Amino acid sequence: MILLALVMFAFALAPFVGAIGGRSSPFVAIIPLLLFVAFCVLLPEIAEGGTLLETHRWIPSIGIAAAFRLDGLSLTFALLISGIGCAVFLYASAYLRGEPRLVRFYTIITLFMASMLGAVLADDLVLLVVFWELTSITSFLLIGHTPEQERSRRSAQQGFLVTVAGGLAMLAGVILLGSVADTFSITEILGKGEMIAADPLAPAIIILIAAGAFAKSAQAPLHSWLANAMVAPTPVSAYLHSATMVKLGVYLLARFDPVFSDHALWIALLTGFGAATMLTGSVLAMRETDLKRVLAYSTIVSLGTLIMLIGIPGELAAVAVVTFLIVHALYKACLFLVAGIIDHETGTRDSSALGGMRHFMPITAAVALMGGLSMAGLPPSIGFAAKELVYETGLAASAGWALVAVALLANAAMVVVAAVVAVRCFSGDLSATPKTPHDPGFAMLAGPIVLALLGLLFGIAPWLVGNGLIVPAASAIAGEPITFTLSLWHGFTPMLALSVLTLVLGVFAYRRWSTIRSRMAGIHQIDDWGPDKLYDRLIIGLQSVSTWVTHQIQPGSLRSYVARTLFIMSLAAFVTLILRGGYELPSFANSLGPDLVIAILLIVSSLAVARARNFVSGIVAAGMVGFTVALLFLFQGAPDLAFTQFSVEALAIIIMLAIVGRMPFRDRDSRIHKERLRDLFIAGGTGVTAALVLLAVLAQPFDGRLSDFFRAASVPEAHGRNLVNVILVDFRALDTLGEITVLGLAAIAAAAVLAGLRRATAEKSK
Q: CA dist 581 to 573, 574, 688, 693, 694, Å? A: 12, 11, 17, 12, 15
pLDDT band at 189; cut points 50, 70, 90: very high
Is the pLDDT confidence value at 34 over 90? yes
Instruction: Indicate the DSSP class of residue 530.
Output: S
pLDDT confidence of 644, banded at 50, 70, 90?
confident
The mean-pLDDT minimum among 13-17, 262-266, 568-572, 749-753 falls in 749-753
> Is residue 325 a contact partner of residue 76, using CB atoms and an 8 Å limit?
yes
pLDDT of residue 553: 79
Q: Which of 567, 584, 425, 405 is nearest to 498 (CA)?
A: 405
For residue 636, the model assigns a pLDDT of: 77
d(CA 410, CA 298): 9
pLDDT, tens digit, for every residue of 437-472?
Answer: 889 999 999 999 999 999 999 999 999 998 889 999
Virtual torsion, Cα 543, 548, 550, 552, nearest 10 deg? -170
Burial of 707 (0-12, 13-18, 19+ CB in 10 A): exposed
Tell whether the model's pLDDT for residue 622 goes beyond 60: yes
The full DSSP string for 195-253 is HHHTSTTHHHHHHHHHHHHHHHTT-TTS-HHHHHGGGS-HHHHHHHHHTSTHHHHHHHH
Please report the pLDDT score of residue 242 as a whole number: 84
Give pLDDT tens digits for 408-443.
999 999 999 999 999 999 988 888 888 888 899 999
What is the pLDDT of the chain when averaged over all its residues? 89
How far, rounded to the nearest angstrom, does the alpha carbon of residue 79 sit from its chain's CA centroid? Answer: 25
Neighbours of 100 (CB within 10 A): 10
pLDDT given for residue 228 in this prediction: 92
Q: What is the pLDDT of residues 213-232, one digit of tens each?
A: 999 999 989 999 999 999 99
**Among the ranges 356-360, 384-388, 524-528, 662-666, which has the highest mean pLDDT value?**
384-388
Which of 80-94, 224-238, 302-316, 700-714 is predicted least confidently?
Answer: 700-714
- In this structure, of 37-41, 319-323, 670-674, 682-686, the range with the lowest mean pLDDT score is 670-674
Q: In this structure, how many other beta carbons lie within 10 angstroms of the beta carbon of residue 496?
A: 15
Whether the pLDDT of residue 617 is over 60: the answer is: yes
Please give the distance of CA 284 from its chain centroid, rounded to a whole number.
26
In the prediction, which pLDDT does 118 show? 96
Which is nearest to 257 in space by CA: 423, 545, 477, 104? Answer: 477
Q: What number is the average pLDDT over the span 559-579?
A: 88
pLDDT exceeds cutoff 80 at 659? no
Which numeric CATH code is attached to 568-702?
A: 1.20.120
Segment 495-511 mean pLDDT: 94
Report the 10 Å Cβ neighbour count for 241: 29
Can you give the pLDDT at residue 184?
A: 92
Q: What is the mean pLDDT of residues 28-54?
A: 93
Candidate ranges 289-303, 485-499, 613-627, 702-716; pick with highest mean pLDDT: 289-303
Please tell me the predicted confidence (pLDDT) of residue 472: 94
Q: Which is more confident, 490 or 274?
A: 274
Rounded CA gap, 221 and 228, in Å? 14
Q: For residue 561, name the pLDDT band (cuts at 50, 70, 90).
A: confident
Q: What's the average model confidence in pLDDT over 151-159?
A: 93
CB 236 within 8 A of CB 85: no
How high is the pLDDT of residue 663?
Answer: 64
pLDDT band with cut points at 50, 70 and 90 for residue 235: very high
Type of residue found at 543: Q
Average the pLDDT over each of 11-20, 269-278, 589-598 and give the range with the smallest value.
589-598
Distances (CA, A) of 465 to 123, 471, 483, 514: 25, 9, 14, 38
Query: Any idea where the domains of the chain sit in the sequence?
Result: 275-519, 568-702
Q: pLDDT tens across 679-699, in order? A: 888 888 898 898 888 888 888
DSSP secondary structure code for residue 480 in this structure: S
Closest CA to 333 of 156, 86, 21, 103: 86
Selection from 342, 271, 281 nearest residue 309 by Cα: 271
pLDDT reported for residue 80:
96
Residue % of the chain over a pLDDT of 90: 55
Position 666 pLDDT exceeds 60: no
Return the SS3 of 167: helix
